[in-house]
Structure 1
């Protein structure tokens, strides 16, 4: 019995000792947790923001004015705007992100467009009556007929010729050289052709009739001569358009017109002749912009020796610049277009990404020219950039705008051209300027807004200036006007 009591006492003691140890440990753990909690300071809130509009910052929490959601706090120590958003390597691997370098290359701009064949308006002849007369016979012709050079059009009776020829023959019989020369000149002034005058001198026979013939081959555009009609001096009988060459009128979008230059090559494919490629050259860039389509009309001249090219035919055209220029290029797929601006995700060290606003030029194959915003050698995200952009918005990373980089960026200079000031109206200036090659604006006279009113200081109508422009969301804007002969 005594032994049994001893065993029970020892068991109770062991249990109490165990509870004491556990309690001590719990007490120490709670104390350590309390100390740890006290040692960890609360994060400081820098500002609140809407992830869908990370550029807008707020001093107080609340509801977003942009979206139906609460504002999110931005804490000190989170991803900074200068470093960008950081994404771990595993996540990047899962998204299949690819990167590319900003490269500088020599590029020759080209573009695809459509066009319609038209008559060469420089190859036109007007057939007219040179003297008063009467139409006695008309050949069976009509507008649209293709004729050869020398084709008879009409036979005309010209009474005035009869008296002039009689006078010439009478004077010639006198042998007076001066009078003969004057009489021959009178025949010429009546409109008598040189061939008819030579025939008169040769056989001495008077002819008051003339067969009017076309002076060139081509298509009859107009035919106004009819049997029995009376003709007056200078009256138009026919209009003939040559077809040895034709024009191709090409509609070039305003934004792509930088690729077009006078003398540039044009590769033409006609729907009427599949597989047949024709070569032409740009002969003119018309100065008027089509307001409805925002396109320029570019004229390409094509030879048409066999006469197969007919006005009205449609064609696909590839226009190429005849010069190369140095430009910065990024893959086109790397660009995020928001509708108001264009962005790329720049890759910095240690998987940090920064949204960068860029100004874009023309596309060259699968790449796009960057006019402003990036420097050669920088890295950008070529795929997966939309996911990274969303992460940057959630982290409240502000997009690096062009204006913020203007002081430190090595971006391309403004597009410049010589100009003459035609008018100044408030913060708007009308310029007669040359070709802005990079932004694709041909030589013309047009009114532009200026970025700052001080740009116009000291300038007046008639001044010769060097104009610098940049492309904005609302069109071209004047960034500088440097008076010719004056140092900036």
Structure 2
């Protein structure tokens, strides 16, 4: 009777021991399976980089040669696109991000620059002594005075002219017209003005002292005559500038000079006369460029019939520049100007943003023309793009150059996926691939045609690849293939 309870207890202990061992074995097996699954799903870095120098890539981990820090691994994004940044819609809203559409239209410009009034150097008269003599009298004039045409400047005694006049008058009483004509010609050749010769012939009296007058109306720029001076033939006495028309000189940045045309109308407003705009004409674009300011000089002619426009005054110049008939345009605020190139953040589907280099044209009214790098209908970030650019730099994402953008525009869209080569034949490549997220196509095994036969070079069945296909009338065609490292 006593052995039965002992046998029952032993049996119970043995059963518990066997159950505990089985549970331990099952737990260890589950843990091993989890470790295998974790190892299988562990991503391998594409490369390592220094966050302070993200454009430099390294094939293995280690210490940065630039900074005292370890290199950071770079993994492929969840959608496989390593050249773009993905931002969730909620984060976009928190950042206050705004998008703008690339549109096609005409971009006219109105260029506003400041100019300075100067004298018209084509309207200049010089007063000179045509023969040697003496200054008998000067009139109350000084540089800067405004004079009328015919205003007296100085009385000059010319002994040579006095003798020739007496000779001419003496020959008038003779009956030799040839001698009289010769005497008249000698007066003209001696430098005596024809008007004075006519006065001598009419009055019949010699005039040893001649009054020199201003040949035009204007302002005296230079006056080099004083009473009692001895003059030599050809000595300059005065320089007079006309005021009937003045020049307005302005400088335009060479990057904005496209569209200027000689002869076009120009509007100018002067602070001295704010209620009276003046319309002039673009007379010339001077051929020499200012190397210091990188500007082109313009010469504008302004009418000055009442003489109120005086050289030295400033004016605000408005130049209408005709734009190109049809250009792509985006807001100027969307451009990131680095000094060496111009970038925009291109918005794509599924919250992806990609830095793209653009080539810009003329700019006006908050819009700038895009000559290369974008297409009509694309969207760019107009607000918040600097934060995205900073993130792209930290992740080592390089902006697509203008040439690459132009090449991309001529090619169909490429959709990427991961896969494993099953077979390579003359008809194409059979691939067991994962889903094409951008096509909404699930993973499967199928045969793709090759866009170029050389895409299959160096590949064999079993290789894991990252490949891109384009969709056309002939179906899905492989456009690019990149071999990936084999998973252990």
1:331 matched to 2:331? The reply is yes
CA shift in 2, pair 1:250/1:151, >3 Å: same
User: Could you tell me how far 1:296 is from its partner in structure 2?
Assistant: 3.0
Structure 1 residues 50 and 165: alpha-carbon distance in aligned structure 2, compared to 1, 3 A threshold = same
Shift of 1:369: 2.4
Tell me, yes or no, if the aligned pair for 1:357 and 1:399 is still in contact at 8 Å: yes
Q: Say if 2:290 and 2:296, in contact at 8 Å, map to a contact too.
A: yes
Indicate the residue corresponding to 1:345 in structure 2. Answer: 345
Partner residue of 1:207?
Answer: 207
Match of 2:36 in 1: 38
Give unmatched runs, 5+ long, in structure 2: 1-7, 411-488
Match of 1:431 in 2: none
Alignment partner, residue 418 of structure 1: none
RMSD: 3.1
The 1:325/1:247 distance shift into structure 2, 3 A limit, reads farther
Aligned to 1:450: none
What SS class does the counterpart of residue 164 from structure 1 fall into?
Answer: helix
Tell me the alpha carbon deviations over residues 223-257 of structure 1, each in whole angstroms, 9 at most, x when there is no partner. 11111112222111100111122222223334333
Shift of 1:313: 1.9
In 1, the alpha carbon distance for the partners of 2:89 and 2:178 equals 105
TM-score normalised according to structure 1 size: 0.72
For the residues of structure 2 that align with 1:250 and 1:80, how far apart are their CA atoms?
55
> 2: CA distance between counterparts of 1:207 and 1:49?
99
- Relative distance call for 1:176 and 1:105 in structure 2 (3 A) is farther
Gaps of 5+ in 1: 1-8, 411-488
Kept in 2: contact 1:45–1:76 (CA 8 A): yes
Contact 2:220-2:240 at 8 Å conserved across structures = yes
State whether residues 47 and 59 of structure 2, in contact with CA within 8 Å, keep that contact through their aligned partners in structure 1.
yes
Q: What are the superposed Cα offsets for residues 207-238 of structure 1, whole Å, 9 maximum, x if unpaired?
A: 22211000111111111111111222211110
- Per-residue CA deviation, residues 310-360 of structure 1 (Å, 9 max, x unaligned), is 222223323332565543321111111233322100112222211011233
Please give the residue correspondences for 1:74-93 in structure 2 after superposition, counting only pairs within 5 Å: 74-76=74-76, 78=78, 80=80, 84-93=84-93
Moved more, 233-242 or 273-282: 273-282
Q: Shift of residue 20 of structure 1?
A: 11
Q: What TM-score results when the alignment is normalised by the length of structure 2?
A: 0.72
For the Cα contact (< 8 Å) 1:266–1:279, is it kept in 2? yes
Is 1:321 aligned to residue 327 of structure 2?
no
Partner secondary structure for residue 273 of structure 2: coil
1:441 matched residue in structure 2:
none
Distance of aligned partners of 1:233 and 1:35 in 2 relative to their CA distance in 1, 3 Å threshold: same
| Deviation sequence 1:284-319 (CA, Å, 0-9, x none) | 222333333333322222222222222222233233
Partner in structure 1 of residue 167 of structure 2? 167
Task: Give 1 or 2 for the bigger CA radius of gyration.
Answer: 2
The residue correspondences of 1:273-352 to structure 2 (distance < 5 A) are: 273-321=273-321, 324=324, 326-352=326-352
Q: SS at the partner of 1:220?
A: strand
Match of 1:429 in 2: none
> Partner of 1:91: helix, strand, or coil?
helix
Question: For structure 1, which segment, 279-288 or 206-215, has the greater mean C-alpha deviation from structure 2 after superposition?
Answer: 279-288
Equivalences, count: 396
Residue matched to 1:138: 138
